[in-house]
Structure 1
Amino acid sequence: MKHFTNIIASAAVLAASALTAQANEFRLGLITPPPHIWTKAAEAFGAELAEASGGAHSVSVFPARQLGNEAEMLQQLQTGALDMAFMTVAEVSNRAPELGAFYAPYLADDIGHAGRILRSDTAKTLLEPLAGEVGVVGVGYGMAGLRQIVARGDVNSAEDLAGLKLRITPFTPILDFYNAIGAAPTPMPLPSVYDALANGQVDAIDMDAELIWVLKYYEHADTVVQSDHMMFPMVGLVSARVWAGLSEEDRALVGDLMAKYVDSTIDSYVEKEAGWLEQIAGTGKTYTKVDASFFGGAIEEWNTIWSEKTSSLDALRATAAETQ
């Protein structure tokens, strides 16, 4: 409850401009497709909220970028045009650089360790300034799997990635990482990735195991590198304008239930990621498992850049050490 008390205090500054009528039909946006774990969690959140509120509140879920890309949805959250979103921490970090520390290469040893970091008090504290700084209330974290690399052609070392057009999620921490490697990071939305890899518009992609397997990105690749080099957090967001217009009771209900379902995605990935990787390894593609040494000096270069951009990196590293 301390987390939500701090959020309420931060959001209170926006109360004067909030809608006076209490919202009861919420719209929730995501970029993920309908079968994705995040989308299913959003739908389950909406169903339980409707039941718990006796039908007073409902949630319409809009997956697959129906309401725009994440930058556009974040703007809608800021104005109150959109009520809620399950959004990559990557996008939010473009407005709140402290969150970029989550993308420190090899901050997490494995998928379970990533989950423990995201459930820590240190991680929760990083959500508290969002209402005042970004205009959104962060209720809790979820995640996708750890990041892997899928490439056309052979990749035997990080040097083989140099100069390759490599699809990334458009945010600064991962851009800095692949620039350090010498690749040509290429931002691209999910719906374009399959065809781009098929037709050679990109040479490689940075992706999690779920989408590599479920969306069959491996089909147009020769090499899969299981690098596990970064975690990929998600955050449940409510427009601070909408939040400020809710009663204290409804804030607790919405916040607790959304936090429950974004957190549930952590358990889903911990349970399923090994199976997806095993299936990908069985496709007949060249499959290589590597560790931090694969990336050479790129990791230290990233650490140098981001130690100057964020004050939260040391705190997250300490938490990572405590939760191993």
Structure 2
Amino acid sequence: MKRSIGKFLVGTVAALTVLAHTAPTEARDYRLGTIVPAGHLWNQAAQRMNDALSERSGGEDGVSVFPAGQLGDESQMVQQLQTGALDMAFLTIADVTNRVPDFGALYAPFLVEDVAGANKVLASEPAQALLGRLPKEMGVVGIDYGIATMRQIMTNFPVDDISDLAGRKMRITPFKPFRDFYNILGIAPTPMPLPEVYDALANGQVDAMDIDPELILNFKFYERADHLLLTNHSMFPMVGLVSGRVWASLSDDEKQRLRETMREQLAWVRQQYEEQEPQMIEKIRTTGIEVKPVDQSFFPGVVAKWEEIWADQKPLTDELRAVAASE
């Protein structure tokens, strides 16, 4: 009888052990925040991520998307990621750069010529290595990069020479690489939330904006500013972040599923912009505004002066420029 009871107990423990290892993980509804409007490609990618993650998890997991800064600005969302109040975010690397300055090398003026060049640089070892620093330095996990279209300059007055911009108020994303770029040029960098810019162009709060073609179309800025300089002066990376606290709570299988799914959608974003940027610019042309291509010579001396300010990042910037120039 004792032997039978012993066999029963051993069998029971073994069965419970098997169940513990095979029981389904807890269903998760991840919350993902962005600052861009609902129709933006970043939000489309987030919704695609929801669909793919649901399929891979047999309907157990999903993603609730909060666009247009519903959860706060980027700094606030980073704080939420750090505390675990927010699970994930697709953010520009502006606030990341404010916290980890080496990311500013990705905004070096005229680092790349177009989105295809930007995608090449973001996939490189130096750029990917920056992501590995985020858990320790920010308390978040960087899965991979996305991107937006290249940065351009839009004004409500004609510009024939860089001197025409001197003293003008330029709406920028509020972070140091762009402030330095415009300060060097004698232009007044003016941080401002995107939803406020449309009216600000009409009432004189700003005279111009640092912007990309997708946002020009989404916000119909061509109704307020009728001169676009196609400068391609900077790429504008995005990064897919996961809260470090949330990441630590996931099983290995959940981490792999989440990483693979997010990486796929960020790759989709990069490819979409590479394909769609020329179409966006042509659509802007059809509005009838002036569209004037200019090159680096329009901004004499700005690269050397910017890199002097960012001297600590110069070795990394040089590595990234070498990647961009390689075949």
TM over 0.5: yes
AA aligned opposite 1:239: S
Name the structure 1 match of 2:312. Answer: 308
SS in 1 for 2:90: strand
Name the structure 1 match of 2:34. Answer: 30
Name the structure 2 match of 1:155. Answer: 159
CA deviation map 1:221-267 (0-9, x unaligned): 13110001100000000001100110111111101111111121111
| Unaligned residue ranges in structure 1 (runs of 5+) | 1-20
Determine if contact 1:165/1:185 at 8 Å carries over to the other structure.
yes
Q: Are 1:239 and 2:227 matched, yes or no?
A: no
CA distance in 2, matches of 1:105, 1:257: 32
Name the structure 2 match of 1:86. Answer: 90
AA aligned opposite 2:276: K
**1:175 deviation in Å?**
0.7
* Count of residue correspondences: 303
**1:322 deviation in Å?**
1.8
CA distance in 2, matches of 1:260, 1:202: 38
- Cα 1:115–1:309 change in 2 (3 A) is closer
Name the structure 2 match of 1:282. Answer: 286
Match of 2:225 among 192, 211, 221: 221
SS in 2 for 1:150: strand
Q: Are 1:135 and 2:139 matched, yes or no?
A: yes
Match of 2:113 among 109, 113, 130: 109
Match of 1:267 among 244, 248, 271: 271
CA distance in 2, matches of 1:310, 1:69: 29
**1:198 deviation in Å?**
2.4
| Unaligned residue ranges in structure 2 (runs of 5+) | 1-24
SS in 2 for 1:94: helix
AA aligned opposite 2:93: V
| Structure of greater Rg | 2
CA distance in 2, matches of 1:208, 1:283: 16
CA deviation map 1:79-119 (0-9, x unaligned): 11100000001221111111110101111122211111112
Determine if contact 1:22/1:247 at 8 Å carries over to the other structure.
no
Determine if contact 2:27/2:60 at 8 Å carries over to the other structure.
no
CA distance in 2, matches of 1:57, 1:281: 42
CA RMSD of aligned residues (A): 1.4
Name the structure 2 match of 1:14. Answer: none
CA distance in 1, matches of 2:175, 2:314: 15
**1:44 deviation in Å?**
0.6
**1:309 deviation in Å?**
4.3
Determine if contact 1:98/1:310 at 8 Å carries over to the other structure.
no
Determine if contact 1:22/1:245 at 8 Å carries over to the other structure.
no
TM-score, normalised via structure 1 length: 0.90
**1:23 deviation in Å?**
7.2
Q: Are 1:177 and 2:181 matched, yes or no?
A: yes
AA aligned opposite 1:24: R
**1:22 deviation in Å?**
6.1
Determine if contact 1:27/1:59 at 8 Å carries over to the other structure.
yes
CA distance in 1, matches of 2:53, 2:29: 11
CA deviation map 1:252-292 (0-9, x unaligned): 11011111111211111111111111122232222210000
AA aligned opposite 1:58: G
